[in-house]
Amino acid sequence: MDIKDLMKNVKTMTGDQIENKLDQMVRSNSRFSNLNEKNKEIVLDLISDYKQDIRNGISITSDKIQRDTHPLYEKRLSLGLTEKDINDIREILKAFRA
């Protein structure tokens, strides 16, 4: 399942089902393979913040993505994130935009 399939089925899924699918997608999709486990957890935390909006069919805006990724960029050294990791996280989150 990819993000587009998830978005189509999101209204019929429970919160736990959405979370499990997102977790499975981030952990197994080759597109996310360069992210280590810690970085994948960061992505899952951000996505879990979006879960209610996604479930209600509210799209995620570019502004929200920027607000959420900017602090990661500022703290990238302490979090062990490279600029490529930040860009990958941004791309993952952009897939949720309408």
pLDDT band at 67 (very low <50, low <70, confident <90, very high): very high
**How many beta carbons lie within 10 A of that of residue 80, not counting itself?**
11
**CA 90, chain centre distance (Å):** 8
pLDDT of residue 84: 87
pLDDT of residue 75: 92
At 96, phi and psi to the nearest 5?
Answer: -90, -5
Instruction: Tell whether the model's pLDDT for residue 57 goes beyond 80.
Output: no
Measure Cα distances from 68 to 13, 24, 31, 64, 81 in Å: 25, 22, 20, 6, 15
Q: What pTM was estimated for this model as a whole?
A: 0.73
**For 3-52, how does the pLDDT look when each residue is reduced to its tens digit (9 = 90+)?**
677 777 777 888 788 778 877 776 676 667 777 888 888 888 888 788 77
